């Protein structure tokens, strides 16, 4: 067992919902084993209010969450990332920066709850569904014995989690 804290960067296009939910969830669920960050390829500059509402309702800290660009994490001075996980298909299909330190990269596809049209209740249901799906995959990540996996094995496990049925 190691005391290493693994840095994880969750990427999305707008960095206003899914990547921020993943950041908040992992920072809470991992109890210090992971330090999660989030960013966007084209950040909206604000966190979706329904995401803040959902996180607060589930007892997760929202202080300090902000929509930001991935360029904050693509410099040699940035925190070294062990894992970079895209959570929206647009980012996964695009060209991402070359990350310092060559982290393990993977893609976990989640539908964008902010794209749902309908009543406030339907929108809240979509946000709750995304939250549950993200939490499910994070539970799988937390079950891994990372210190026993080499880079290629960890890459495979992260990709398997992304293909896990929701």
Encode pLDDT of 79-124 as tens digits: 999 999 999 988 777 777 878 888 999 999 999 999 999 999 999 9
Task: Kindly state the average pLDDT of the residues 56-75.
Answer: 94
User: Is 88 marked active-site?
Assistant: yes
Instruction: Give residues with Cβ within 8 angstroms of 103, minimum separation 6.
Output: 9, 80, 81, 82, 83, 84
* Per-residue model confidence (pLDDT) at position 21: 98
Where does 13-52 show beta strands of DSSP type E? Answer: 34-40
CATH superfamily of 6-163: Response regulator (3.40.50.2300)
Nearest alpha-carbon partner for 84 in 131, 43, 44, 36: 36
Mean pLDDT value across the chain: 94
* Per-residue model confidence (pLDDT) at position 2: 62
147 with 4: CB under 8 angstroms?
yes
Catalytic-role residue among 44, 52, 74, 96: 96
Catalytic-role residue among 8, 9, 12, 17: 12
Nearest alpha-carbon partner for 97 in 113, 76, 126, 122: 76
Q: 3-state class of 60 per DSSP?
A: coil
Task: Give the sign of the dihedral formed by CA 93, CA 166, CA 145, CA 3.
Answer: positive
Percent of the chain with pLDDT over 70: 98
Task: Kindly state the average pLDDT of the residues 45-73.
Answer: 95
* Per-residue model confidence (pLDDT) at position 134: 98
Catalytic-role residue among 26, 81, 88, 91: 88
User: Is 105 marked active-site?
Assistant: no
Does the pLDDT of residue 46 top 70, yes or no? yes
159 with 105: CB under 8 angstroms?
no
The maximal CA–CA distance of the chain, rounded, in angstroms, is 48
Structure tokens at 142: 């937390």
Would you say how long the chain is, in residues? 166
């Amino acid at each position: 067992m190691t005391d290493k804290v693994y840095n994880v960067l969750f990427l999305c296009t707008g960095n206003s919902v899914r990547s921020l939910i993943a950041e908040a969830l992992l920072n809470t669920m991992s109890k210090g084993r992971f330090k999660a960050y989030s960013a966007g390829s084209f950040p909206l500059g604000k966190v979706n209010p329904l995401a803040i509402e959902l996180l607060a309702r589930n007892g997760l800290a929202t202080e300090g969450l902000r929509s930001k660009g991935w360029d904050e994490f693509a410099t040699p001075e940035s925190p070294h990332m062990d894992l970079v996980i895209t959570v929206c298909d647009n980012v996964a299909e695009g060209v991402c920066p070359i990350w310092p330190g060559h982290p393990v990269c993977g893609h976990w596809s989640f539908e964008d709850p902010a794209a749902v049209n309908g009543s406030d209740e339907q929108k809240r249901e979509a946000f709750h569904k995304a939250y549950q799906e993200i939490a499910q995959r994070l539970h799988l990540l937390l079950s891994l014995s990372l210190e026993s996996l080499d880079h290629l094995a960890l890459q495979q496990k992260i990709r398997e989690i992304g293909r896990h049925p929701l």
